[in-house]
Amino acid sequence: MTPLLSVRHLRKSYGALAVTDDVSLDVAPGELHAIIGPNGAGKTTLIHQLSGAARSDGGEIRLAGENITRLGMVARVRRGLARSFQITSLLDGFSVLDNVALAVQARSGSSFRFLRPVAGDRRLNGEAMAALDRVGLADRAGRRAGSLSHGEKRQLELAVALATGARLLLLDEPLAGTGPEESARLVGLLRDLKATHTLVLIEHDMAAVFALADRMSVLVYGRVIASGPPDAVRADPAVRAAYLGEEAA
Amino acid sequence: MSAGASLPVARIEAAPPRRPGARIALLLALVALALVPVLASGIGAPFLIVTATRILIFAIAALSLDLVLGYGAMVSFGHAAYVGLGAYAVAILSAHGIHDLLVQSAAALVVCALFALVTGAISLRTRGVYFIMITLAFGQMAFFFMVSLSAYGGDDGVSLDHRSRVLGARLIEGDVALFYLALGVLAVVFVALRLLVASRFGRVLRGIRENAVRMEAIGFPAFPYQLTAYVVAGAIAGLAGVLLANQAEFVSPAYMSWQRSGELIVMVVLGGMGTLVGAVAGAAALIAVEEGLAHFSEHWRLGLGLMLVLLVLLARGGIAGLTARLRGGRAA
């Protein structure tokens, strides 16, 4: 099967420091591909490059066969690749519903319409409610996004990513900063998303990663040192030495 | 690209309110304004009609700046240039025998929209302080261009022989008629902006104000939306300029000086950024205070400065935020 996302020899340097160093990986349609690695391994930079927030110095990114290396973030979202943020980034002054409805609006019709009120648009709100329902936030629709709890904001991030209509979601530490209960709920949610979406997941919570991932890549100093199913990666001596260390032994 | 630094916009709510009472309150305000000429004549103070007309005209200009500043998070420091260009559209066309208000207004709209399109497209490549500086620079360019245009008065400006004609008729020769024209334009602009802010476009613009990175990540680049708002605002300010030229029957480069741009910003901030009612209230407050304090002392700006400091420190939502808090509700 052709991979949905294919990355070849991707590079990015800040000065002399190679943050992404010859990274190649494939993500098959429908799989959850986790990217793990110690702090400073270049995971977030890689997500920036994949989402179009940062330019790559070399290499190639293909989405469903199309070369998207030179495309900006907006063009990639339109082609079905959306991201969530490690540090929650929402429209805090907007209602929960409007946060999601804007993502629906972005892919349905021109937004150069100036006179008709948008707040009551049933089609946008309907699709937004469906996304909220899926992440379990339907009862919060009318609340201000800024007033949600941290865990709920993480759920809202997922709802917004879903509402973009993207096939491939890049999730940058969706569990960051959540407590055990919130984290369990989000893991359940990610498992549910797996059924319909291809996911690239960056996450520090190893229990969650091993529970969710179909395949994973281990990033150390900007290089992929191992890639494969979780069991194979867990057994890989280089990974054990470099990353999992004593903890996982 | 977001031009704005993070602004202390009235963040109390993102969408304009849909309270049932709001429409009635606005209608009552309109009726009250419409009675001003009657009352002013009644108390034997017809000069108040002139002051009120100036308030209406600057309210239109402040409204347009609020679209850029309050809703679009773009701190434009050259907005008076559009008022000036609109005024010169009247003066220059009049000098060539074209006195029709509609033709002059159309010319003002086109010239201002084009100037906004070109300078906005360049300015929006910068952010924050640089955006302020570059809009200031473009405003000053327009100012010095008019100063050097000696055929139309240069530095001294140019007097109009008479006010604009409407299809040949002297409809707005009287101050009362001009007042009602200004009120009509203000009402139309206010309603149009109210709709715009709540539309699909307006929601995207407000979203970019809140978080441009997030908006880009869901597929909205800031540039085309901010530029469109900038052009719309420039055109509306041009209309204010057409009215201002007619009110004063005089046009000079001073209309487009950076001090005038600063005054427009003060009006918007004073009234409450990102609230349309606030822009109108800010214009009214500033002009009323100007004329009021000027009676007491030539150092009236000192008093104005104090009021501004207090308002910014104590009531960050401006007049609109203050009245909302006094009512215990949300900003309108």
Q: Could you please report the per-residue DSSP string of B214-236?
A: HHHHTT--HHHHHHHHHHHHHHH
In a domain, B192, yes or no: yes
The residues, ordered by sequence, that sit 6+ positions from A2 with a Cβ below 8 Å of its Cβ are: A64, A65
In a domain, B272, yes or no: no
With CB atoms and an 8 Å threshold, state whether A102 touches B202: no
- Strands of A32-36's sheet in order across: A81-83, A168-172, A198-202, A32-36, A215-220, A223-228
Choose between B17 and A212: higher pLDDT: A212
pLDDT of A243: 65
Q: Which of A111, A115, A124 to mutate to test the interface with B (most CBs of B within 10 A)?
A: A111
CB atoms within 10 A of CB A34: 24
Query: Model confidence at B322, in pLDDT bands (50, 70, 90)?
Result: confident
- Which H or E run contains B292? helix B276-296
B12 → chain A, closest CA residue: A93
In a domain, B203, yes or no: yes
With CB atoms and an 8 Å threshold, state whether A102 touches B204: yes
With CB atoms and an 8 Å threshold, state whether A111 touches B225: yes
Q: Is the CA virtual torsion B41, B43, B46, B50 positive or negative?
A: negative
Which residues of chain A are at the B interface, by a Cβ-Cβ cutoff of 8 Å?
51, 53, 72-74, 77-78, 82-83, 85, 89-95, 98, 102-103, 105-107, 109-119, 121, 160, 163-164
With CB atoms and an 8 Å threshold, state whether A77 touches B219: yes
Task: Return the closest-CA partner of residue B268 out of B124, B118, B60, B53.
Answer: B60
With CB atoms and an 8 Å threshold, state whether A78 touches B219: yes
In a domain, B283, yes or no: no
Q: Which of B11, B198, B210 sits opposite A117 (nearest CB)?
A: B198
Q: Which of A50, A71, A74 to mutate to test the interface with B (most CBs of B within 10 A)?
A: A74
Kindly give the interhelix angle for B128-147 and B101-123, rounded to the nearest 10 degrees: 140
SS3 B164: coil
Residue appearing with tokens 């204010």: B240
Domains of chain A: 1-80+166-249 (3.40.50.300), 94-164 (no CATH)
Token code pair at residue A140:
């919060």
Token code pair at residue A176:
């960051």
Q: How many CB pairs under 8 A join A and B?
A: 106
With CB atoms and an 8 Å threshold, state whether A51 touches B217: yes
Average pLDDT value over all residues in chain B? 89
Residues from chain B that touch A159, judged by Cβ atoms under 8 A, are none
Q: From start to end of A74-233, where are the E strands?
A: 81-83, 168-172, 198-202, 215-220, 223-228
Token code pair at residue A121:
């648009």
Chain B (161-220) residues lying within 8 Å, Cβ to Cβ, of chain A: 195-196, 198-204, 206-207, 210-211, 213-220
- The greatest distance separating any two alpha carbons of chain B, rounded to the nearest whole angstrom, comes to 61
With CB atoms and an 8 Å threshold, state whether A85 touches B214: yes
Average pLDDT value over all residues in chain A? 91
Q: Is B41 left (phi over 0), alpha (psi -120 to 50) or beta?
A: alpha
- Please tell me the total count of domains within chain B: 1
Give the tens place of pLDDT for each residue, B236-268.
999 999 999 999 999 999 999 999 999 999 999
Q: How far is B22 from chain A (nearest CA, A)?
A: 16
Q: Which of B200, B204, B211, B231 to mutate to test the interface with A (most CBs of A within 10 A)?
A: B200
Chain B (87-146) residues lying within 8 Å, Cβ to Cβ, of chain A: none
Q: List C-alpha distances in Å: A87 to A157, A209, A218, B252, B287.
A: 10, 19, 22, 52, 45
Q: Do B104 and B172 meet the contact criterion of CB atoms below 8 Å apart? A: no
With CB atoms and an 8 Å threshold, state whether A118 touches B203: yes
Give the tens place of pLDDT for each residue, B123-142.
999 988 999 999 999 999 99
Residues from chain A that touch B206, judged by Cβ atoms under 8 A, are 94
Residue B206, CA atoms < 13 Å, CB-side half-sphere: 30
In a domain, B108, yes or no: yes
Give the tens place of pLDDT for each residue, A62-111.
999 999 999 999 999 999 999 998 888 899 999 999 999 999 999 998 99
Q: Which of B14, B18, B216 sits opposite A94 (nearest CB)?
A: B14
Q: DSSP letter at A162?
A: H
Give the tens place of pLDDT for each residue, A155-192.
999 999 999 999 999 999 999 888 888 899 999 999 99
- Which H or E run contains B265? helix B258-271
In a domain, B310, yes or no: no
Query: Model confidence at A38, in pLDDT bands (50, 70, 90)?
Result: confident
pLDDT of B19: 62
Give the tens place of pLDDT for each residue, B21-46.
888 988 999 999 999 999 998 998 88
Token code pair at residue B109:
């709209």
pLDDT of B168: 86
How many residues in total does chain A contain? 249
SS3 A225: strand
Residues from chain B that touch A106, judged by Cβ atoms under 8 A, are 218-220
In a domain, B33, yes or no: no
A85 → chain B, closest CA residue: B214
> For B312-324, what is the mean pLDDT?
79
pLDDT of A6: 95
With CB atoms and an 8 Å threshold, state whether A85 touches B201: no
With CB atoms and an 8 Å threshold, state whether A91 touches B207: yes
Choose between A109 and A6: higher pLDDT: A6
Residue B111, CA atoms < 13 Å, CB-side half-sphere: 24
Residues from chain B that touch A95, judged by Cβ atoms under 8 A, are 14-15
Tell me the C-alpha distance between A146 and A156, whole Å: 11
Query: Model confidence at A227, in pLDDT bands (50, 70, 90)?
Result: very high
In a domain, B296, yes or no: no
Residues from chain B that touch A157, judged by Cβ atoms under 8 A, are none
Q: DSSP letter at A153?
A: H
Tell me the C-alpha distance between A94 and B13, whole Å: 7
Is residue B332 over pLDDT 50?
no
> For B222-247, what is the mean pLDDT?
98
With CB atoms and an 8 Å threshold, state whether B200 touches A91: no
Give the tens place of pLDDT for each residue, A114-167.
999 999 899 999 999 999 999 999 999 999 999 999 999 999 999 999 999 999
With CB atoms and an 8 Å threshold, state whether B196 touches A115: yes
ipTM comes to: 0.88
pLDDT of B319: 82
Residues from chain A that touch B198, judged by Cβ atoms under 8 A, are 117-119
Is residue B287 over pLDDT 80?
yes
Give the tens place of pLDDT for each residue, A91-100.
999 999 999 9
pLDDT of B290: 83
With CB atoms and an 8 Å threshold, state whether B199 touches A82: no
Token code pair at residue B43:
């108390």
Tell me the C-alpha distance between A88 and A94, whole Å: 14
- Which H or E run contains A10? strand A5-14
Q: Which residue range forms the structural domain that includes residue B166?
A: 47-258
With CB atoms and an 8 Å threshold, state whether A116 touches B216: no
Task: Return the closest-CA partner of residue A173 out of A150, A154, A191, A159.
Answer: A154
